[in-house]
Amino acid sequence: MHWKEYIKRMPLEVKQITGPLVLGEGPHWDDRVQALYFVSIHEKTIHKYNPASGEHTKTTLDGRPGFIVPVEGALDQFLVGLEREFVVLQWDGAEGSAVKFVRKIGEVDQDATKNRINDGKADPRGRIFGGTMGDEKSPGDFAQEQGSLYRVDGNITRVADKIGISNGLAWDLSAKAMYYIDSLEQNVRRYDYDVDTGDISNMRHIFNFPKNGLDGFPDGGTIDTDGNLWIAVFNNGVVIQVSPEGKLLRQIPIPAKQVTSCTFGGPNLDILFVTTSHYMNKPGEGDPQDGCTFMVTGLGVKGHPNVNFKF
């Protein structure tokens, strides 16, 4: 039986795998160690989850991490978007263990010191694309169009500006496409992508949330091997599957309203790991699972291996 037929017969299941975090984000599956890494931005913590053992560990940083991506060639080093800096840190993955500073790649948005890095991911060649967002005076009160999107390789290059909240990234090499989300646009961008140079061009929008009757904001996301996007919808409690042509294919309910990001992982890359938040909840509001991390099985699709950062 083909794996797709086998998986289609599996029941869809959404399972909580960690307790609540204030703002869980940036999930990255490291195939080398069969573990999920992610961050909790406002708690200033980086996390590791091992599905085989169920072990969940974390440690605290000196600032707010927007994402974490392992470094290729080192099992204990990670590129982290920390406040407005891209830095390499060393962490052994143990609960509460000390983090060692390895090197600073560079600093961005020097003219907007209240900005912070919000999300980032490695492209198929191991370059990092990471973006920023403007000052958040209070939960939900964002400075408009103050952020940028950057490419991090030998240098740091701004590739897009006037960004509200920099978020989801995904690449489809067969389509020579890069997908990108500025959450405040309530839309999904598609760029033509040159994998040899890392250059993007010919931006167009492919999926408009209001026009598709969707409440909430597109957040982080990923792509499956069929070329369909999986997008976390903040303030809607779902992850959606969208075709490259911009057709809404599926909505997967998640038992937390503020869904922040997702990535495929597991031994067969057929588990969708989903991070969430309770950051926007007012005192006394919300559900017990708000901010928890989940794994979704039985979707009938697979993802690509997450790429690690390559110097």
Q: Which residue is listed with tokens 């901010």?
A: 291
- Measured CA to CA in angstroms, residue 251 lies from 42, 105, 221, 230, 232 at distances of 28, 38, 13, 9, 10
In the set 153, 219, 224, 290, the catalytic residue is 219
| Residues facing residue 156 across a β-bridge | 152
Tokens 């999904």, located at residue:
188
Whole-number Cα distances in Å, 82 to 24, 39, 107, 129, 189: 15, 11, 9, 14, 25
CA dihedral over 254, 169, 157, 309, signed as positive or negative: positive
For residue 135 the two structure tokens come to: 């000052």
Q: In the chain, what are the helix, strand and coil shares in percent, each to the nearest 5?
A: 5, 55, 40
109 among known catalytic residues: no
- Cβ-proximal residues to 170 (8 Å cutoff; 6+ apart), any chain: 121, 178, 179, 221, 222, 223, 229
Residue 114: which region, alpha, beta or left (left: phi > 0; alpha: psi -120 to 50)?
A: alpha
Tell me the catalytic residues: 219
